A and B are shown apart, each in its own frame.
Chain A
Amino acid sequence: MIGAGKIKQYSNILEKPLSKGKQEVSLSAFAFLFSELVQYNQTQVDNISELERRLEDAGYAVGARVLELLCHRDKGNRRETRLLGILSFVHSTVWKVLFGKVADSLEKGTEHEDEYMISEKDLLVNKFISVPKDMGTFNCGAFVAGIVRGVLDGAGFPAVVTAHFVPMEGLQRPRTTILIKFAEEVLQREARLG
């Protein structure tokens, strides 16, 4: 009943048209929500690594869905199958949709062949977070690391993804680096493809 002036109800969710993704909410609404996510998870854990793991899990669930959504909406149901392709997809497309900008940098690790880094000076989720001293190296970027892992895993590039603070000269706040270490099979496949 289009035009009946009433929102269609109880229809299958798949019949609904996919939104264009241009809707926005205020940054504070997100910050409030994210802080509740962190605070709730703090009550569920005994140590920092457990807390990071739980935030990463939450992010993973977001990443898996973002991949599906973007492949469907932006890429005509195609996804990247090559290593550099998927990395630039994360660094550009995913970042742009989620954070409104392309990530500051994407670099290859100098010491290890299987490591790549995405860095961001002022990561959205760390914007209003200051980590207490007794929480050591805890980084809320674990949530974003989880998103990255979710996207990569869903696309067939299993990897270990972690978030780290890296102090920068001349900047007050450290930047956040998302370190991606691909599974061996990914590199082997990549080598085979030439």
Chain B
Amino acid sequence: MAPAAPRSGEAIFSSVDRVNAELFTLTYGAIVRQLLNDLEEVEEVNKQLDQMGYNIGIRLIDEFLAKSNVSRCVDFKETADMIAKVGFKMFLGVTASVTKWDADGSCCSIVLEENPLVDFVELPDTCQGLYYCNILSGVIRGALEMVAMKTEVTWIRDMLRGDDAYELQVKLLSQLPEEYPYKDDE
């Protein structure tokens, strides 16, 4: 049987259960506020948000693969496209674009046109070092690690910090060799 064709982000998003984005936004805000209270240091909050994202990413990849019918991507370019076009759409209902490829195709930027995490948000003077959306970079890093790609994900532009867009740089560090714990003919 031929593998099922990959589904578009829109098609998946419209077929899954959804919740009001404001509940999501405000809940995320509550999490960030709790972390700021508990950890006090903005740097620590950035780390914890990244860790939470990572935890989500390593679980979320299963759902992504199961619902999208995406099979192996031929290269990192296709992977980045999948994240931007299918991943962001199916979970957050927003689209993202991929730009700024480097020469050897191992580093690019994902630019978010909308970002449901930041509605109602303004960074006070005391939190200027905060990467408010750091959970997203963790999600991407975690998800890619589960498909054998070690990446480094950093924020390049952040509108909460006065930039004109949300831009994440995704850099492929290494591709882990696949290990087969079983024999093919068994």
B93 touches A23 (CB 8 A): yes
A13: chain B residues at CB < 8 Å are: 120-122
Smallest distance from the beta carbon of A71 to chain B beta carbons, Å?
Answer: 14
With most chain B CB atoms within 10 A of its CB, the pick from A25, A33, A34, A40 is: A25
Residue in B56, B60, B135 whose Cβ sees the most chain A Cβ within 10 Å: B56
For B28, the chain A residues whose CB sits under 8 A away are: 33
Question: Which residues in B have their C-beta under 8 angstroms from that of A97?
Answer: 20, 22-23
Q: Which A residues from 9 to 29 make CB contacts under 8 A with B?
A: 9-10, 13, 19, 21, 23-29
What 0/1 readout, one digit per residue, does chain A (38-53) give for beta carbons within 8 Å of chain B?
0111001000000000
Q: List 15 A-B contacts (CB under 8 A).
A: A9-B162, A9-B164, A19-B119, A23-B21, A25-B24, A28-B17, A32-B60, A34-B27, A36-B31, A37-B31, A37-B34, A44-B38, A57-B34, A65-B120, A99-B19
A19 to B121, CA, bound (A): 13
CB pair B27–A7 under 8 Å, yes or no, is no
Is A59 an interface position by the 8 A CB rule? yes
Encode B135-165 as 1/0 by CB contact (under 8 A) with A: 1000000000000000000000001001111
CB-CB under 8 A for A26 and B92, given A32-B59, A36-B52, A36-B56: yes
Contact B93 A33 (CB under 8 A): no
**A52 CB, min distance to chain B CBs, angstroms:** 14
Q: Are A24 and B20 touching (Cβ within 8 A)?
A: yes
Closest beta carbon of chain B to A26's beta carbon, Å: 5
- In the assembled complex, how far is the CB of residue A166 from the closest CB belonging to chain B, in whole angstroms? 24
CB neighbours (8 Å) of A19 from chain B are 22, 119
B16 interface residue, CB < 8 Å from A?
A: yes
Contact count band on B: 35 or more
The 8 Å CB contact of B48, one of A40, A58, A61, A124, is: A40
* CB <8 Å contact, A29 and B92: yes
| A40 partner, pick from B31, B119, B120, B163, beta carbons under 8 A | B31
CB pair B34 A54 closer than 8 Å: yes
Closest chain A residue, CB of each to CB of B59:
A32
* B8 proximal to A (CB < 8 A): no
**B178 part of interface (Cβ distance < 8 Å):** no
Considering the complex, give the chain B residue whose CB is closest to the CB of A127.
B17
Chain B window 27-66, contacts with chain A (Cβ cutoff 8 Å), 1 for yes, 0 for no? 1111101110010000000001000100110011001000
A145 CB → nearest B CB, Å: 14
Contact between chains at A26 and B38 (CB < 8 Å): no
| Interfacial residues of chain A within 35-93, with CB under 8 A of chain B in the complex | 36-37, 39-41, 44, 54, 57-59, 61-62, 65-66, 69
- In the complex, the answer to whether B18 meets A24 with C-beta atoms within 8 Å is yes
> How far, in Å, is A107 (CB) from chain B's closest CB?
24
CB-defined contacts of A131 to chain B, threshold 8 Å: none
Chain A residue at smallest Cβ distance from B159: A9
Distance to closest chain B CB from A45 (angstroms): 11
User: Which residues of chain B (66-118) have a CB below 8 Å from chain A?
Assistant: 90-93, 116
Instruction: Please report which residues of chain B, range 151-183, place their CB below 8 angstroms from some CB of chain A when the two chains form the complex.
Output: 159, 162-165
Residue of A nearest to B118 (CB): A13
Q: Does A100 contact B (CB under 8 A)?
A: yes
Q: Assess whether B19 is in contact with A27, with CB atoms less than 8 Å apart.
A: yes
Which residues from B are CB-within-8-Å of A37?
27, 30-31, 34
Shortest 6 CB-CB contacts between residues of A and residues of B:
A23-B21, A27-B17, A24-B18, A58-B30, A36-B52, A29-B91
Q: Which residue of A lies closest to B122 (CB)?
A: A13
